[in-house]
Amino acid sequence: MPDRGGGPTGPRIRVGRPSRRVRTLLMTLGVLAVLAMAFVMFAGFWTDWLWYRSVHYSSVFTTTLWTKIGLFFVFGLLMAAAVGVNIWLAHRLRPPLSAMSMEQQSLDRYRMAIAPYKKWLLIGITALVGLIAGASAAGQWRTWLMWVNGVPFHQKDPQFHLDVSFYAFDLPWYRFLLGFGFAAAVLSVIAAALTHYLYGGLRITSPGGRATAAATGHLSVLIGVFVALKAVAYWLDRYGLAVKSSDFKATDNWTGLRYVDANAYLPAKTILFCIAVICALLFFATLWRRTWQLPVIGFGLMVLSAILIGGLYPAIVQKFQVQPNEQAKEAPYIAKNIKATREAYGIKDVKPESYDGTGVVGKDAKEKRDAADSAASYRLNDPNIVSPTFQQLEQKREYYQFPMTLDVDRYEGQDTVIGLRELNLDKLDKRNWINDHFVYTHGYGAVAAKGTETAKGSKGEPAFTEKGLPTSGSLGDYQQRIYYGEKTKSYAIVGGPQKELDYEQAGSQKTYSYEGKSGVDLSNPINRAAYAVTLSEPQILYSGAIGEGSRLLYNRTPKERVEAVAPWLTIDGDAYPTVVKGRVQWVVDAYTTVNNYPYSSWTTLGDTTADSLSDKDSQRAVIAQQNRVNYIRNSVKATVDAYDGTVKLYTWDEKDPVLKTWKNAFPGTVKDKSDIPAELKEHLRYPQDLFKVQRQLLTKYHVTSPGPFYNGSDAWQVPNDPAKQQNSSVPPYYLSMKTPGSDAQQFSLTTTFTPSKRPNLSAFLAVDADASSENYGKFTLLRVNKGDPYGPEQVQNKLVSLPEVGNFIRDMKGAASDVLYGNLMTVPLKNGFLYVEPMYVQGRKSPYPQLKKVAVSYGSENVFADNLGDALDKLFRTNGGDPDEPSDDPDKSGKPDKPDDGDKQKPPASDNPRLQEAIDDAQAAIDEGKEALKEDDWEAYGKAQKKLQDALQRAEDAQTEEPAKSDKGGDKSGDKGRRENG
């Protein structure tokens, strides 16, 4: 049968060229596609430029852009030239193909195929490698700017005695150049070898010589260049030992030389450098000798030396010299690491002060009670808990919200909890493009409350000092509209024909039209088209809601804006609002960091700054330009205006060489410290993330002696948050308090330490957090030198195990309410530590928690009361107060009554059998409690306390019975015993 499908036996079908109309259409579509792609690329560039110009930081954009462009073209051209020249040279050095072997005959068809396109192929290959190399180099713009603008630290490393700036600014750039050189050499060798093979310079199966003299000389020179670069790498590796990270028993993330580095690796690198130089010269010598014998021998020697000298020898030194006496061998290097780390993290002046820590109520209870009043401004309103209270009482409208964790500031000398009423578009009843971006554009007002007290006559609500919509109170008159905030993440189009909703009051809506100069003008059609592409919103092109005066606001979170205008800074996780000169200003702390400080141990900012609050609120995470660092300074204080988004950067650490370097790179972007307004300075504070990094380092680096540091015998840890169920670090707390030796309270940032893997308190750390104070940044580290005082988790367990607390919790659960534990504040007081914890109650159908109780602990005394005053009275037995637990008053010898295995003395016997039985049971319960405390078994301790309470109650009941009458003239010691035990 014939093939009717048009096969060999069927009819032929002629396929002609497309018609002119089709070709024109295809060409037009192709041009339009290219233009569309070009406009998309242009739109991204143009919108970035418009934004930077709108915030008056166009110099940051241009400096960064031109640096990237310069690096792209310089290194792209260098790589393209290196590869292209070697391909051209290999082609030019090709041998004449007079006698064609089978191998060459098979390659001939490839040569013929590329012959007409050799020039274009060469251009394509070189362009491809140039683009890749240029893009990689453009990413090194920070490294280039730090190298070219670097200033000295005026500190030298202890091994090579070079300025720290060499490691921080120079060495990273040299390593980039070296890596680029290696890449160029390898690509050139590969390209040249393939070209020589294609044109017969290199032969694999052909008889005779495997390579022509020209190919041998060409490739040997390229390999010689590679080996020469390896020699340079060996030399730089010597300095790299000072910033090398390694695992070490003494500390995690160890950086710097150890004994084996200084005595094995360092000389090995020097020897390998010399061998590599000789090997490179041997490769270069093939230009005259035309033989691979000596270079190959030299290269083999270098590889063997790298294995023996660079690997085996240091292992032998470590095994037979270091390990038998590691502590003594490593002691000098540990001392260098301690000194460098304390310097790099700003804790070199932190010195532990000896502190008793084992305070007891004692005979001077009234004096301690009086001292407790002025020891601190106890912040009972926990900013981590009262946000729902702010939300319920001051939200006013569903589309407003407060942050999950409120901020702590100071107003008129009062610790104040403050939050902004920001916009929450997710709560709008009707979501559409106009509502989301034109009508609901801003939040309204700051709400503040006293940190130390609740409202009079309330059920535990905060005492608001600024409230309402619009707000009124102690903050005075200020611009209340919040266009820029932590929760404001969508763009808004304001100032045009479409009116905005300002706020609602008494059932009526107030409208507003933005009057600020912030944002990008959208009256220009090119701008509208560019943003329609960038924001993927075509309605921006034709919407009638956009017209004359319309401005686009975006990048609206404070941290986002600061990071954009200063991409060389690392941003603190917590931006906080403050009202200054009639404006709401966001304050953002920013850090300069490097990761090449010699001998300073590394830390990972994301891990070190994590605590129970960042677990709860991911928005409080640090924005890290370099997440792994070993040098940090709070060098910049930034502000962002909540109304017009104005960003200002102020110098804070005027001595920081890293900041000086960046100011050289971006002149005029950071204002002088003297330009900080006095009103703003009153609200600046010591940043939390820096403090968390420093406290984590101090868990080990409070030890300055190499021996104990190596043993880890005095290592500390940051305790877990006792108020949380998950194992996450307790956050530091802002608190106005007195430190030992001071006469007045100072706004401070505080934390506690416990011994490694133990719950007892080992130290207390506070830093002066008031930027207007002369002692700002001064640390107070109180090291407990006596006994084992209770740590935060132990105190929490003791407070929870109080019978009154248990009864309270049961009552609340019975009333369908939950008990929430506030921040457990620790305050030094008269050689001891006073713990204060507010307790909140929230009904399961109630929208917010209320402060109901306060628990207080001092020494081994623990009390629970309706308010702080009553709790302190009860604790120190003043104004009729009476603690519920046995006293820890000193006995006649002056020693406190602490758990003691040898303390088994029983109370005098009673002639009342029921009373005697109750006393014996009470003594047994006390002994059980002591044993439980020794084992840190808090469940057993709680059971023992219940037994004790039951025995005491039975003893009290027995006392009401008529005691047995004694015989006339009988022993009266029974009466004395009954009085003592009654």
Predicted confidence at residue 673, as pLDDT, reads: 95
Q: Is the pLDDT of residue 363 over 90?
A: no
Whether the pLDDT of residue 253 is over 50: the answer is: yes
Please say whether the beta carbons of 933 and 910 come within 8 A.
no
- Which residue bears the tokens 């009988």? 970
What's the burial of 815, exposed, middle or buried (CB within 10 Å: 0-12/13-18/19+)? exposed
Which stretches of 680-745 are assigned E, i.e. beta strand?
716-717, 733-737
Residue 716: half-sphere exposure toward Cβ, Cα within 13 Å: 26
DSSP state, 783? E
Q: What is the pLDDT of residues 590-600, one digit of tens each?
A: 999 999 999 99
Give residue 658's pLDDT.
97
User: How far is it, in rounded angstroms, from Cα 440 to Cα 433?
Assistant: 10
Q: What is the mean pLDDT of residues 104-127?
A: 81
pLDDT of residue 423 exceeding 60: yes
Distances (CA, A) of 833 to 95, 98, 352, 860: 89, 96, 16, 11
| pLDDT, mean of residues 716-739 | 88
Q: Specify the range with the lowest mean pLDDT, choosing from 498-512, 713-727, 831-845, 937-951.
A: 937-951
Residue 525: is it exposed, middle or buried by C-beta count within 10 angstroms (0-12/13-18/19+)?
A: exposed
Q: What are phi and psi of 474, to 5 degrees?
A: -75, -15
* Ranges 33-37, 568-572, 826-830: which has the least confidence: 33-37
164 contacts 190 by C-beta, under 8 angstroms: no
* CA nearest neighbour of 407 among 683, 692, 621, 728: 683
Q: To the nearest whole percent, how much of the chain has pLDDT over 70?
A: 88
d(CA 855, CA 731): 20
- Cα four-point dihedral sign 49, 55, 60, 62: positive
CA angle 697, 702, 703 (to 5 degrees): 120
What does the pLDDT read at residue 903?
38
Q: How far apart are CA 131 and CA 137, in angstroms?
A: 10
| Maximum average pLDDT range among 249-258, 436-445, 891-900 | 436-445
Which CA distances in Å does 227 have to 79, 275, 352, 944? 18, 10, 52, 76
DSSP 86-99: HHHHHHHTPPP--S
Kindly tell me if the per-residue pLDDT of 81 is higher than 90.
yes
- The set of residues, in sequence order, having a beta carbon less than 8 Å from that of 798 and lying 6+ positions away, is 790, 857, 862, 938, 941
**How far is 529 from 260, CA to CA, in rounded Å?**
63
Mean pLDDT confidence for 897-921: 56
| SS3 label, residue 481 | strand
Which pLDDT band holds residue 615 (cuts at 50, 70, 90)?
low
Type of residue numbered 632: I
Instruction: Tell whether the model's pLDDT for residue 357 goes beyond 50.
Output: yes
pLDDT of residue 484: 96
| Structural tokens at position 972 | 């009266």
Alpha helix stretches (DSSP H) within 308-344: 313-317, 326-344
* The two structure tokens encoding residue 968: 């006339």
Range scoring the smallest mean pLDDT among 27-36, 145-154, 469-478, 687-696: 27-36
Q: Is residue 901's pLDDT more than 70?
A: no
Task: Spell 498-519 as b/e; 16+ CB within 10 A means b.
Answer: bebbbbeeeeeeeeeebebebb
Q: Which residue has the higher pLDDT, 390 or 910?
A: 390
What token pair was written down for 695?
Answer: 């406290």
**Is the bond preceding residue 324 a cis peptide, omega within 30 degrees?**
no
CA atoms within 13 A on the CB side of 867: 10
> How long a stretch of residues is the chain?
982
Task: State the pTM of this model.
Answer: 0.84
What is the percentage of the chain residues whose pLDDT exceeds 90? 57
Q: At 26, is the secondary structure helix, strand, or coil?
A: helix
Q: Which residues of 129-159 are buried (b: 16+ CB within 10 A; e: fewer)?
A: bbeebbebbbebbbbbbbbebbbebeeebbb
DSSP 632-688: EEEEEEEEEETTT--EEEEE--TT-HHHHHHHHHSTTSSB-GGGS-HHHHTT-B--H
State pLDDT tens for residues 618-677: 567 777 777 889 999 999 999 999 999 999 999 999 999 999 999 999 999 999 999 999
Q: How far is CA 413 from the centre of its chain?
A: 30
Q: Which pLDDT does position 217 carry in this prediction?
A: 87
Average pLDDT over residues 882-897: 40
Using DSSP's 3-state secondary structure scheme, residue 573 falls into: coil
Tens digits of residue pLDDT in 555-567: 999 999 999 999 9
Q: pLDDT class for 881, splitting at 50, 70, 90?
A: low
CB atoms within 10 A of CB 420: 29
Residue 882 backbone phi and psi in degrees, to 5: -145, 110
Helices (H), 200-265: 213-240, 259-260
- CA 875 – CA 862 distance, rounded (Å): 7
